[in-house]
């Protein structure tokens, strides 16, 4: 496989302008003749589908929920970055670019990140135009806050519901286009296969989750905006339905999967309460602007009430270890520091897997009403879940799987290694390198959907001739048959164990051996355990009901079956990368407790190529060249 990133020549700051001029255009009268499929209706999918329809393309959009407005982008709390420099505090496109490359531990592609920083400003304009009710100052101008891993205030927000408001903006634009007839929306439809004809992506196979009908859809180009794979861990902050199926099916059809081991563990989530736990809830990172993270200095104090532990007996470990960033240190660093404190026996709460996030100082400095104004809805949510009042006792938090930086490999045009298959948002391996900074997922999803893909898809369509294909084509018929076979097989096992019990077990293996800290021994064990669990799944799972009706157990079974295979790819990648970078922390590679990168050997994107069931995947490398940013050890001290 040849990886051609297609990065335009010329100076970094001119690449996107030059490329936009160099790309071919589709004549306005011809645009409606092209049919583009968009899978997913989150920030990336909805913005892409709406924008392409506005341009005149004929778009079909698919979502597994009952409405596009429910995609998991809606749950993002904190905010969205842009290089507006409205605060006059030294921000610029170059600084946002630099912070993002550094935050990603120098494992992202410079040209893509620069473009992201450039279009970040257009996103804010676009969203305000759509009526997104961002937070405002009394003078009527937009408010900003600072966010983890940045020393400037560049984050725009809508209370603690920024993702919701941005998604509703994109959703409303999408509904506007549905009403106009430019987009045909398929709700409660799940993509189960990609169809490739003569090496080119030409359609998908879906299952109608209400009727069970398996259907083929032909298109001139396919776009996946299907989110991340965090649910491979079973417990994560993702919605219950989030899955890897669309991207994994594409991988099995020839799309390279890049950096699957780069997973983000978010430092501020509500700790696990018990075995029944079905998902984890994030507490926005913005809380770290005013909350101070601490654990007792002595193990003996862990059982005490926090109010009984004197100031001198508290270890504000982030402030101690990283004085210049303190409680605002990046996510990977903050998460590992919490794990270390708990591994050291100084964790608090049930099971000792928790640290305090304390607002007492902020409340005495600013008053409870101001804190309520800033974080009221988050405090309420915390109390609802834990039955504890964070105005009176410190919150307990612990890291949880939140976001996945890995995803399908894409070139500068967001095209995968399968011609015609594009991938946007969290689903691609994206611009975040080995670690994503706060408030940049929303930025990337919308950048891809509003301002990058609508240009590059036109270039793809204008540069290629498309043979007439119908669903009668043998490739479509074969893909339909393989989906049917798989469904029949899952329903026919009739074993003893539920799908969830397998999913939980898989999640435990990954959390313990491929979670916040990894080592070769554990990863090798996981590579033994995953295939045997998978084998047991295919022998002993029970999926009630039938394929031709509404069947949530069947939906879950299909997703978990793909997680069972994907998990192995993730662990393989983690084992091969013998360095620590960003969210990938290998215990063997550290220096004084900090991650130790190996730029000489690992400054590349690992793009894995499917080689057949039971065959080891093939590793392809895209070297990362840094022309504008000096490769440095990331320091937040």
Query: Encoding tokens for residue 122?
Result: 């257009």
Residue of 35, 154, 159, 534 that binds other proteins (CB under 8 A):
159
Give the other-Cβ count within 10 Å of 300's Cβ: 11
Nearer to other proteins, 341 or 357 (CB): 357
Measured from the CB atom, the residue of 284 and 435 that comes closer to other proteins is 284
Among 16, 57, 97, 134, binds other proteins (CB under 8 A): 134
**In this complex, which beta carbon is closest to other proteins, that of residue 121 or of residue 628?**
121
- Least distance in Å: CB of 492 to other proteins? 15
Give the residue with the Cβ less far from other proteins, 278 or 364. 278
Question: In this chain, which of 106, 450, 476, 602 binds other proteins, going by CB under 8 A?
Answer: 450
Give the footprint of other proteins on residues 538-577 (CB under 8 A). 542, 544-545, 549-550, 552-553
The residue count for binding other proteins (CB under 8 A) is 82
Which among 107-115, 175-183, 476-484, 516-524 is the span making contact with other proteins, rule CB under 8 A? 175-183
Is-contact 410 257, C-beta < 8 A? no
Among 23, 32, 33, 142, binds other proteins (CB under 8 A): 142
Determine if 498 is a binding residue for other proteins (CB under 8 A). Answer: yes
How many CB atoms neighbour CB 499 within 10 A?
22
Cβ neighbours for 435, distance < 8 A, ≥ 6 positions apart: 103, 104, 105, 262, 264, 330, 331, 332, 405, 581, 582, 583
Q: Which of 11, 90, 274, 474 binds other proteins (CB under 8 A)?
A: 274
Counted residue by residue, the chain has a size of 637
| Closest to 459 (Cα-Cα) out of 32, 34, 51, 26 | 26
Q: Which residues, numbered 296-315, are part of the site for other proteins (CB under 8 A)?
A: none
Return the HEC string of 613-629.
CCCCCEEEEEECCCCCC
Cα 212 to Cα 480: distance, rounded to the nearest angstrom: 13
Q: Does 67 bind other proteins (CB under 8 A)?
A: yes
Q: Is 24 in the site for other proteins (CB under 8 A)?
A: no
Minimum CB separation of residue 498 from other proteins in Å reads 5
Strand order in the sheet with 200-208: 189-197, 200-208, 214-218
Nearer to other proteins, 31 or 336 (CB): 31
**Smallest separation (angstroms) from other proteins to the CB of 69:** 6
Residues numbered 40-59 forming contacts with other proteins, rule: CB under 8 A: 47, 50-51, 54
Which among 107-115, 140-148, 389-397, 508-516 is the span making contact with other proteins, rule CB under 8 A?
Answer: 140-148
Q: Give the burial class of 123: count Cβ atoms within 10 A of its Cβ; 0-12 exposed, 13-18 middle, 19 or more buried.
A: buried
Minimal distance, residue 18 CB to other proteins, in Å: 19
CB-side neighbour CA atoms (13 Å) of 97: 22
Q: Which of residues 202-261 bind other proteins (CB under 8 A)?
A: 210, 237, 239-241
Which one, 133 or 199, has the nearer CB to other proteins? 133
Closer CB to other proteins, 399 or 433, in the complex: 399
Nearest CB to other proteins, comparing residues 168 and 221: 168
Angle (nearest 5°) at CA 180 between 177 and 182:
60
The structure tokens listed for 331 are 């996510």
- Cβ neighbours, 10 Å, residue 367: 11
Nearest approach, Cβ of residue 608 and other proteins (Å): 29
DSSP designation for 235: S
Q: Which among 220, 150, 176 is positioned nearest to 46, based on CA atoms?
A: 176
Q: What does the DSSP assignment read for 424-458?
A: -GGGB--S-TTSPPTT-HHHHHHIIIIIIHHHHHH
Q: For residue 304, give the DSSP letter.
A: S
d(CA 275, CA 266): 21
Residue whose CB is less far from other proteins, 27 or 138: 138
**Distance between CA atoms of 301 and 132, rounded to whole angstroms?**
47
- Quick check: 503 binds other proteins (CB under 8 A)? no
**Under 8 Å between Cβ of 405 and 434:** yes
Contacts with 576 (C-beta within 8 Å, 6 or more apart), sequence order: 606, 619
* Cβ 606 to other proteins shortest distance, Å: 31
Nearer to other proteins, 49 or 569 (CB): 49
Residue 589 CB, nearest approach to other proteins (Å): 35
> How big, in percent rounded to 5, are the helix, strand and coil portions of the chain?
45, 15, 40
Among 21, 88, 179, 613, binds other proteins (CB under 8 A): 179
For 500, other C-beta atoms within 10 Å of its C-beta total 14
Q: Is 172 in the site for other proteins (CB under 8 A)?
A: yes
101 forms part of the interface with other proteins (CB under 8 A): no
* Sites for other proteins among residues 103-132 (CB under 8 A): 122, 124-131
User: Does 492 participate in binding other proteins (rule CB under 8 A)?
Assistant: no
Which of positions 592-631 make contact with other proteins (CB under 8 A)? Answer: none
Q: Which stretch binds other proteins (CB under 8 A): 178-186, 302-310, 406-414, 507-515?
A: 178-186
Stretch that binds other proteins, among 171-179, 226-234, 353-361, 566-574 (CB under 8 A): 171-179
CB of residue 521 to other proteins, shortest distance in Å: 33
If we measure between CA atoms, which residue out of 118, 300, 188, 234 comes closest to residue 533? Answer: 234
Q: What is the DSSP letter of 617?
A: P
Find the part of the chain contacting other proteins (CB under 8 A) among 69-77, 253-261, 567-575, 627-635.
69-77
Residue 66 CB, nearest approach to other proteins (Å): 6
Backbone angles phi, psi at 190, to 5 degrees: -120, 130
User: Which of residues 27, 278, 364, 615 is near other proteins by CB under 8 A?
Assistant: 278
- Residues 449, 43: contact at Cβ < 8 Å? yes
**Shortest distance in whole angstroms from residue 109 CB to other proteins:** 24
Among residues 208, 215, 380, 565, which is the contact residue for other proteins, using CB under 8 A?
380
Residue 383 touching other proteins (CB under 8 A): no
Least distance to other proteins, CB of residue 553, Å: 6
| Distance in Å, CB of 416 to other proteins, minimum | 23
- H or E element that contains 175: helix 162-180
Residues 75-94 that bind other proteins (CB under 8 A): 75, 84, 86
Q: Does 385 bind other proteins (CB under 8 A)?
A: yes
Q: Is the dihedral of CA 316, 76, 401, 3 positive or negative?
A: negative
């Amino acid at each position: 496989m040849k990886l051609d990133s297609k990065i335009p020549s010329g100076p970094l700051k001119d690449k996107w302008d030059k490329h936009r001029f160099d790309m071919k255009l589709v004549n306005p009268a011809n645009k409606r003749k092209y049919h583009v499929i968009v899978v997913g209706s989150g920030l990336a999918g909805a913005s892409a589908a709406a924008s392409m329809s506005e341009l005149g393309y004929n778009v079909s959009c698919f979502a597994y929920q009952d409405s596009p407005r429910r995609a998991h982008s809606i749950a993002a709390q904190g905010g969205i970055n842009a290089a507006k420099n409205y605060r006059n505090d030294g921000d610029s496109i170059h600084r946002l670019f630099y912070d993002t490359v550094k935050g990603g531990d120098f494992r992202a592609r410079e040209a893509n990140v620069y473009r992201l920083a450039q279009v970040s400003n257009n996103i804010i304009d676009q969203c305000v135009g759509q009526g997104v009710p961002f937070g405002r100052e009394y003078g009527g101008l937009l408010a900003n806050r600072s966010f983890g891993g940045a020393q400037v205030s560049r984050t725009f927000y809508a209370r603690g519901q920024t993702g919701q408001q941005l998604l509703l903006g994109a959703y409303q634009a999408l509904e506007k286009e549905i009403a106009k007839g430019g987009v045909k929306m398929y709700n409660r439809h799940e993509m189960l296969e990609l169809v490739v004809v003569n090496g080119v992506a030409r359609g998908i196979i879906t299952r109608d989750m209400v009727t069970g009908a398996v259907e083929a859809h032909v298109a001139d180009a396919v776009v996946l905006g299907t989110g991340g794979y965090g649910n491979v861990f079973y417990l994560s902050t993702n919605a219950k339905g989030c899955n890897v199926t669309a991207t994994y099916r594409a991988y099995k059809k020839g799309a390279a999967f890049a950096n699957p081991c780069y997973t983000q563990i978010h430092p501020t989530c509500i700790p696990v309460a018990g075995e029944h736990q079905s998902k984890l809830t994030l507490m926005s990172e913005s809380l770290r602007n005013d909350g101070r993270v601490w654990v007792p200095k002595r193990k003996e104090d862990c059982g005490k009430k926090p109010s009984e532990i004197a100031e001198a007996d508290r270890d504000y470990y982030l402030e101690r270890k990283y004085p210049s960033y303190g409680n605002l240190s990046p996510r990977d660093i903050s998460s590992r520091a919490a794990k270390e404190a708990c591994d050291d026996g100084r964790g608090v709460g049930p099971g000792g897997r928790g640290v305090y996030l304390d607002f007492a100082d902020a409340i005495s400095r600013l008053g409870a009403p101001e804190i309520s104004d800033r974080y009221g809805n988050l405090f309420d949510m915390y109390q609802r879940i834990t039955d504890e009042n964070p105005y009176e006792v410190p919150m307990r938090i612990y890291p949880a799987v939140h976001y996945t930086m890995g995803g399908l490999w894409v070139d500068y045009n967001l095209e995968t290694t399968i011609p015609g298959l594009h991938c946007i948002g969290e689903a691609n391996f994206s611009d975040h390198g080995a670690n994503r900074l706060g408030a940049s997922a929303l930025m990337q999803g919308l950048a891809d959907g509003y301002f990058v893909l609508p240009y590059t898809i036109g270039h793809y369509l204008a540069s290629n001739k498309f043979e007439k294909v119908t669903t009668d084509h043998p490739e479509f018929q074969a893909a339909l048959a393989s989906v049917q076979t798989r469904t029949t097989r899952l329903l026919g096992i009739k074993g003893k164990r539920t799908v969830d019990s397998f999913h939980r077990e898989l999640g435990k293996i990954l959390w313990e051996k491929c979670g916040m800290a990894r080592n070769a021994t554990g990863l090798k064990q996981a590579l033994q355990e995953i295939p045997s669990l998978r084998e047991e799944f295919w022998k002993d799972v029970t999926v009630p009901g039938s394929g031709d009706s509404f069947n949530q157990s069947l939906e879950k079974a299909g997703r978990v079956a793909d997680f069972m295979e994907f998990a192995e790819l993730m662990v393989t990648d983690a084992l091969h990368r013998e360095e620590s970078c960003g969210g990938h922390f290998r215990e063997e590679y550290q220096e004084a407790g900090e991650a130790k990168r190996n730029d000489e050997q690992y400054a590349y994107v690992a793009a894995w190529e499917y080689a057949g069931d039971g065959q080891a995947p093939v590793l392809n490398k895209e070297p990362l060249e840094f022309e504008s940013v000096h490769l440095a050890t990331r320091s937040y001290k």
